[in-house]
Amino acid sequence: MSQIVSLQKALELDVARVGGKTLHLAELDAAGFQVPPAFVVTTDAFVEHFQRAGAGALLESYASPGPTQLAMLRDHQLSPELVAEIARAREALARRIGNANDADLLCAVRSSGADEDSASASFAGQHATYYYTGAQDIPQRIIDCWLSCWSSQAIAYRAANDRSAPRMAVLIQQMVLAEVSGVVFTRDPTEPVSERLVIESCWGLGAALVDGRVTPDRYRLRRIDHRLVSTKIGTKRFKVTEDLIDPEGTRLEAVPRHLQRRETLEPEMLQRVAELGAGCETHFRAPQDVEWATAGGQLYLLQSRPITTVIAAAPQVKGRWVIFKPIIENFTEAMTPLTIDIVRRVIPRFGQFIDGRFYINFNMIKALVPLDISDAQLADLSLMRPRVDADVPRFDYRRVWLPVLLGLMGYLSWGMLLVRTRHLPSQALAGFKVRCAAVIADDRLDALTATRRLFYGASPFAPAGHLAFQVNVSSARYFILMDGLRSLLARYAPDFDPNLIGSLCVGSTDMLSTQLIEDLRTVAKLADSNTTVRRLFDEEPAETLSARLAAEPEARAFMSGLEGFLARYGHRGTREMELAAPRWQEDPTPLLGMISNMLDATQSDDDRGTNQRALAERALVDALPNRLARRIADWLIRRIRYYAALRENTRHFHVMALTTIRQKILELERELISTGALKCPDDIFFLTWDEITMLRGGQSDWRDVSILIRTRRVDHARLSERMPPSTFNIELDPREADATDLSGYCASPGTAEGIARLVLDPATDAALRPGEILVAPYTDPAWTPLFVNAAAVIVEVGSYLSHAGTIAREYGVPCVVDVEGCMQRLVNGQHLRVDASNGRIQVLSKPAIEPAP
């Protein structure tokens, strides 16, 4: 009996002989889908080969061969008869495709396990695939596919899913020279009940996407009619090289700058991919995970398997934990393993990382906060949510002793700094930049030592400007001052609207986040004043604009202004609390998008914040006639304004420290890639510091970490798609639910109506038109330019004290934060009414035509 059959003949065999992947593709090929031609080496050959090699025992157990046996099995060649049969099948495949010279035919050699792609287990990514394989290499690649049955991850997956002993067929398929490839999930696997399908795409082969090595473009469409709901364009910095003859070589090559942020799918092809996924789901009568590729205008179906995983349940965690809001409100994605490891080594031990996010020990908070309130109320307080009741919490005097004792101890160690930062000059923190420059220049300092040097400071008696992290903690006293102001006004000015308190406390001229906007406007004016530069902004794609401007003599004044801006703010960027995130100084393309947005925008009302402050001050004069209370209130307002600006400014220097650490890490990564210890850029962020140290010292090599990196990349991508729970093992009070309207918490008062504009990434979604309502998952300083034109701001994760709230109050923009599910429930083009003062968002009408995000 032949051990090789064509894809068409495979339909006549059962899954035990051809494997799940092959059988599915054979069905789809017979149903008329465009599947690349292929033949399959059946599991009969698999069994015979290992029995002939004296390894028959491996076929009946979960056991893994040891290193010596594995080396022997890798060297054990296929039988001459099977090699000859493979050669004949390959020649027949070449004739079918129309290759006059079959030597030019390149193939993909793909595993097809007997249990693979079943309804209960997919084995996705557990078994090997080899691309661009020539005739002479096919026999060895078949053996390598077979041996992947005994990789550590495949054994663990098989045992966890109660699979039988391994059996594997191998699919040899025409290699599609993919221009664009990706996956389509016909039901969003990140949502428990989903009415949307998800398409992810990247340049070149989809292996980089599946491995988690690139951030793909992500499209969400309605399942019912495939209308586009949202688009997130990834920064596709790398693609799988188009020649993988050396599987141990560097797998990735850089994507040209002008393509990194360009959409990979035109609207017509997007619809074709959606229809392809829907067709597979209809055929198999179950939601599908479909792999596809395009080449020469043709759309190819590469694989279709059931979606065996939906949104993962929250991890089982002992103890009670509440998420640390100051980090999560700056970006909701999971942190990378290296960022977690470095941060964990320097911060106090008052919490832990769970699924890539930092959580505080709730029991510790409860012991330190002597208030007579429920656990749910304390959790809301920890999440920086405003009190919904007017009652002032009572002290539990039986528990006051511990916080008082710790407070006294803290004052003994921090008291001098508290005094030194009461009237810190606005330029004092500039000394931290000098400190960062010295750390970068010192080759003796590695990334971890640099972290400790910048975080702790050289000495507690060093200039306060050198202690940015400690100054941030010191400035947090404005939380207490704000609560004092609220209590004072509640008692002596009961008619004063508490939502106006935020407007009273804005107006600092020293806040770097607002200075950033003014400085960027100055650069935009340079662009607007030069006809040539303005023409380039109007005509040139953002991806190539930077290179064109650099080469244009007429743009020298503009480029000089941009370089000056980068000298001050170049260490900033999107997701800037993450060490793996690129900075503006590395790639200014996002800044050029922001400048373009400023050029296209009409003049906005810059006086909104000033006008709101004046109205609030007049209201305070009318509501607070008591002169002594008024003097106390004025003092509190000045202090709050000062400390709020100080806290916001320290973030600027925190990020400067993180960028310094990132530069140290990138230097180390270049060294490891040059020695072959690492193969791909950014892989270093998916190792811990100890693992990097072993890699650098030669105690481990690329083979030891490659699977670990891949697994962590995939896990990180999965976790980053999921909004983390606010708490673990704490029952929160239920929030008011509404079938159509949404609710959150007021961060900046006011009302507004406008068209919803969902922005997932300010680097690619910079075109916010004046009067639109910005809807975002979170914000950080990279989002600040969008506030200028926004009629209102809606944020899924945030607080009154978050960046979104602080900047919205400065600009007088109504802002609602902590609006659960707003990125899923709202769509571009909806007409919204935002009543920020009461934390309400009303959907007035749906878009007549689904707009392109």
Which tokens in the block code for residue 813?
């923009």
Q: What is the mean pLDDT of residues 568-575?
A: 90
Q: How far is CA 513 from CA 216, 426, 471, 571, 818, in A?
A: 30, 13, 17, 13, 21
Which tokens in the block code for residue 402?
């511990």
Q: How far is CA 753 from CA 60, 608, 770, 774, in A?
A: 67, 16, 12, 11
Secondary structure in 3-state letters for 604-663: CCCCHHHHHHHHHHHHHHHHCCCHHHHHHHHHHHHHHHHHHHHHHHHHHHHHHHHHHHHH
- Residue 192: partners with Cβ closer than 8 Å, 6 or more residues away: 310, 311
CATH class of segment(s) 742-845: alpha beta
124 vs 206: CA distance, rounded Å: 13
Check: CATH 3.30.470.20 for 180-306?
yes
Q: What is the mean pLDDT of residues 488-509?
A: 86
210 vs 35: CA distance, rounded Å: 19
Residue with tokens 């400007």, as numbered in its chain:
465
The single-letter code of the amino acid at 700 is: S
Closest CA to 479 of 730, 806, 726: 806
The single-letter code of the amino acid at 717 is: A
pLDDT of residue 127: 73
Give the least confident one: 360-364, 606-610, 801-805, 812-816.
606-610
The mean of the pLDDT values for the chain is 85
Q: For the chain, where do the domains classified as CATH 3.50.30.10 start and end?
A: 742-845
Helix (H) or strand (E) holding 185: strand 180-185
Tell which wins on pLDDT, 717 or 86: 86
pLDDT of residue 314: 59
Give the least confident one: 500-514, 602-616, 808-822.
602-616
Q: How far is CA 237 from CA 274, 292, 579, 760, in A?
A: 25, 21, 16, 18
Q: For the chain, where do the domains classified as CATH 3.30.1490.20 start and end?
A: 4-174
Q: What is the dihedral of CA 730, 732, 738, 742, to 10 degrees?
A: -90
Give the least confident one: 376-380, 455-459, 719-723, 804-808.
455-459
Tell which wins on pLDDT, 395 or 472: 472
DSSP-assigned states of every residue in 828-851: TT-EEEEEGGGTEEEEEE--SS--
Q: What is the mean pLDDT of residues 271-292?
A: 96
Say whether pLDDT at 466 is over 80.
Answer: no
Say whether pLDDT at 755 is over 60.
Answer: yes
User: Would you place residue 326 in the very low, low, confident or very high pLDDT band (cuts 50, 70, 90)?
Assistant: confident
pLDDT of residue 852: 41
533 vs 527: CA distance, rounded Å: 6
Q: For the chain, where do the domains classified as CATH 3.30.470.20 start and end?
A: 180-306
Which tokens in the block code for residue 343?
């941060």
Say whether pLDDT at 703 is over 80.
Answer: no
Q: What is the mean pLDDT of residues 537-562?
A: 89
18 vs 1: CA distance, rounded Å: 14
pLDDT of residue 68: 75
Q: How far is CA 577 from CA 71, 515, 580, 581, in A?
A: 44, 20, 9, 8
Helical spans, DSSP H, in 161-226? 207-210
Residue 510 is given by DSSP the state: T
Tell which wins on pLDDT, 374 or 138: 138
- What is the fold of 4-174? Dna Ligase; domain 1 (3.30.1490)
The single-letter code of the amino acid at 87 is: A
274 vs 222: CA distance, rounded Å: 10
Say whether pLDDT at 78 is over 60.
Answer: yes
The tens digit of pLDDT for each residue in 368-401 reads 887 778 888 888 888 888 765 555 667 776 777 7
Report residue 476 CA to chain centroid gap. 28
Tell which wins on pLDDT, 543 or 695: 695
Pairing relation of β-strands 217-222 and 228-232? antiparallel
% of the chain with per-residue pLDDT over 70: 87
The tens digit of pLDDT for each residue in 194-246 reads 789 999 999 988 877 777 778 889 999 999 999 998 888 887 878 876 655 55
pLDDT of residue 309: 57
Say whether pLDDT at 851 is over 50.
Answer: no
pLDDT of residue 58: 76
301 within 8 A of 710, measured Cβ to Cβ: no
Which tokens in the block code for residue 182?
């990706």
Secondary structure in 3-state letters for 548-592: HHHHCHHHHHHHHHHHHHHHHHCCCCCCCCCCCCCCCCCCCHHHH
- Max mean pLDDT among 166-170, 261-265, 477-481, 523-527 falls in 523-527
Closest CA to 755 of 841, 828, 842: 828
pLDDT of residue 203: 92
Beta strands in 307-406 (DSSP E): 321-323, 351-354, 357-361
Look at residue 404 and give its three-state secondary structure: helix
% of the chain with per-residue pLDDT over 90: 43
